[in-house]
Amino acid sequence: MTDRDLSKIELWCYDAASIVAPRLNAVVAAMLHENISKYANKKRDLLYIASDYAEMISSLADEDRAKAQKLLKEKHGFGYEHFQQGKLLAIESILKNGKIGSMSQYEKALDFLSDTTNDQDTLVSLSKIVAAHEEKLSKKQAKK
């Protein structure tokens, strides 16, 4: 990761901080904001901070989350989901394989589907895979 990349993430964090700050205690918001500049040149720490902000944004109400996502993507080229890679890797794997291979993947797919700010084409494709998986599960239950 280059210094330029870290600078982009730092700026993203400042914007994410301004989005979530009104929902936080003022002292906590100030401390989190201060941490951005304190750890701006430390890759692991800055990614951890960005991940925390992404988690806070993902827990906003649908309308607020959609506004935040739009603002961040327009301004920086990536939204909060960029920092939730673990979940996204599971979703990519499901879409690539065309099936759900574990309960963990199933839970991540359901979580992803519950976020209406995600890409609509991805949601449609994933919905079909989840429906097929649920049908498979119900057939297994019927055999018992």
**What's CA 117's distance to the chain center, in Å?**
10
Domain region containing 35: 3-83
φ, ψ for residue 116, nearest 5 deg:
-70, -5
Q: Are residues 8 and 77 in the same domain?
A: yes
Q: Are residues 75 and 97 in the same domain?
A: no
Q: Are residues 73 and 91 in the same domain?
A: no
Percent of the chain with pLDDT over 90: 60
Q: Are residues 101 and 138 in the same domain?
A: yes
Q: Are residues 19 and 56 in the same domain?
A: yes
As for how many domains the chain has, the answer is 2
Q: 61-91 pLDDT, tens per residue?
A: 989 999 999 999 999 998 998 887 767 788 9
Please give the model's pTM, rounded to 2 decimal places: 0.62
Q: Are residues 78 and 7 in the same domain?
A: yes
Q: Are residues 11 and 45 in the same domain?
A: yes
Average pLDDT on 125-129 reads: 96
Q: Are residues 75 and 94 in the same domain?
A: no
Q: Are residues 70 and 129 in the same domain?
A: no
